[in-house]
Chains A and B, each alone.
Chain A
Amino acid sequence: MFDLHGFGGQMALGALMTVQLALGALAVGLVLGLMGAVAKLSRDRLARAVGRGYTTIVRGIPELLVVLVIYFGSSGILTTVAGWLGHDEFVELSPYVAGIIALGLTFGAYATEVFRGAILAVPIGQIEAARAYGMGPWLTFRRIVLPQVWRIALPGLANLFLVLLKDTSLISAIGLNELLRASYIGAQSSKDAFTFYTVAALIYLAMTVVAEWGRARLEKWSRRGIARARA
């Protein structure tokens, strides 16, 4: 049906790279998001300010700009720091690492809000009960709050993951051979842009469908043992 002019393998590798990017950024973003939420809900004023600054700035500028800044901006900083440490050479991040950091930063900023809502949604009575048992703040967080946060935050996080999956296409702008760039290369050399971008779109759609299915499974699993209110 689709003639890929021998670029099928490249496209498959690109799709694999896209999945890798998405999962890597997801891992970075989840850690950042959880830290951001804890910071924003902290009693410490400095922590709140840092959390607020992080989400406001990252959510206020385009994802593409974040990607470009991390990739092109970091080399200057890294080279300077390396110079202090006695390495007088040009240092830069690979597009892959820069991409994961940039996408992780954006995912983390949005995830901060999701986690914050989820932490606030844990019934206060349970936290008071934990305190009454003599649990400290860390133990309360680890044993009482965190296990429930996953369940409450899951729908929001899954939504963000779908956005992240599509945002991986931005990494093509810094030359990483992910799905979109692989299609771009194929399109340029075969002069058959329509086919290549249609195939790319279909692969992204398929990934979305798989992610959507995974979301439904995970949500069902996370709700096991939770009584559902009858409408």
Chain B
Amino acid sequence: MDWETLIPRIAKGVFYGVALLLAAGIVYGLTRLDYGVMVAYLDDLGRGALLTVELVAISVAVGFCIAVPTALLRASPRWWLSWPAYAYIFTFRGTPLLVQIFLVYYGLAQVDWVKDSFLWPYLREAYWCALIAFTLNTAAYTAEIFRGAIQAVPAGEIEAAKAIGMSKALMLRRVVLPRAFRICLPAYGNEIILMIKGSALASTITLLDLTGMARTVIARTYMPVEIFLAAGVIYFLLTFVFTRVFQRIEHRANRYLTAAR
């Protein structure tokens, strides 16, 4: 027997050994945790989770409204329409969300005309800063997703719409956008999940979202493992429920395509 055939067996043995050790460690660790703390601070974490959901829901909804026109501009053949949209998308996709949040939260506060404007009561709140940064960020990613979907609408369907004599606006409303929306649903679902997870960054500018709340509770109890575990489970449940709901939506929206199968 030569060594080339021995390697998979050795790898398997090592793998089982490590897996067994890890499983034993995890089980032992789980028995040593203080579950009372998790229960005691569950409604704090629940309130944090509520803020997380609120931040994500608003920024995704507003981001959607910005993304549709941006995607249309980006897909335009005229450079003076597509170029600004491209610059916006490139800037927000090329820099970290955390930098964008800091720029809005710390950066805007020193610009004098911002401080003098009627918007200042909002712009000095961490809540609104986080919402602005999240919205602009998700709008850029979403616009790029929509752009791909708009360009993926089968040419035959657009030709058919033209042949019936639809105006450009009508064609957009009845054919291109509904079709593009269905095409990009899986990618769009991914983006929303990334947003749920990205919203944890709100905790860095003092907001008490799920992560922020977890960090506050840990500062009080000195029990990072228990509280982070609880927060992790809640995030996991959030994304899990969302994926399931989104699967239903996807299934319904594309029913006319899958019905035959």
Contacts and interface: CB of A to CB of B under 8 A. Distances in A.
A139 B7 CA distance: 10
Contact of B197 (A63, A193, A194, A204): A63
A107 interface: no
A76 B224 contact: yes
Contacts, number: 123
A50 B16 CA distance: 11
A148 interface: no
Contacts of A136: 4-5, 8
Contact of A180 (B96, B107, B211): B96
A180 B103 contact: no
Interface stretch (A25-33, A64-72, A121-129): A64-72
Interface in A43-94: 44, 46-47, 50, 57, 60-65, 68-69, 72-73, 76-77
B94 A205 contact: yes
B204 interface: yes
Interface stretch (B42-50, B78-86, B145-153, B231-239): B231-239
A185 interface: no
Chain B interface mostly helix, strand, loop or mixed? helix
Contacts of B197: 61-64
A166 B95 contact: yes
Contact of A201 (B95, B196, B203): B95
Nearest to B233: A61
Contacts of B29: 77
A44 B98 CA distance: 41
B215 A138 contact: no
A64 B19 contact: no
B226 to A, nearest CB: 10
A19 B157 CA distance: 47
A200 B19 CA distance: 42
B5 A138 contact: yes
A204 B96 contact: yes
Interface string B175-203: 00000000000000000000011111101
B198 A204 contact: no
Contact of A192 (B110, B198, B201, B231): B110
B53 to A, nearest CB: 14
B7 A138 contact: yes
A204 B94 contact: yes
B110 A62 contact: no
Contacts of B231: 65
Given A47-B15, A136-B8, A138-B8, A69 B232 contact: yes
Contact of B12 (A44, A64, A65, A192): A44
Contacts of B225: 69, 73, 76-77
Counting chain A CB atoms within 10 Å of each CB, which of B5, B198, B200 scores highest?
Answer: B200
Interface of A: 39, 44, 46-47, 50, 57, 60-65, 68-69, 72-73, 76-77, 136-139, 166-170, 172-173, 180, 183-184, 187, 191-194, 197-198, 200-201, 204-205, 208-209
13 contacts: A60-B239, A61-B235, A68-B215, A69-B225, A72-B228, A77-B29, A166-B97, A192-B110, A193-B109, A194-B108, A197-B102, A197-B107, A204-B95
Which 8 A/B pairs are nearest by Cβ-Cβ distance? A193-B106, A62-B200, A62-B197, A169-B96, A194-B107, A166-B96, A72-B224, A208-B94
Given A167-B96, A192-B110, 13 more contacts: A39-B15, A61-B197, A61-B235, A62-B197, A64-B203, A68-B215, A72-B218, A180-B96, A197-B99, A201-B91, A201-B99, A201-B100, A208-B95
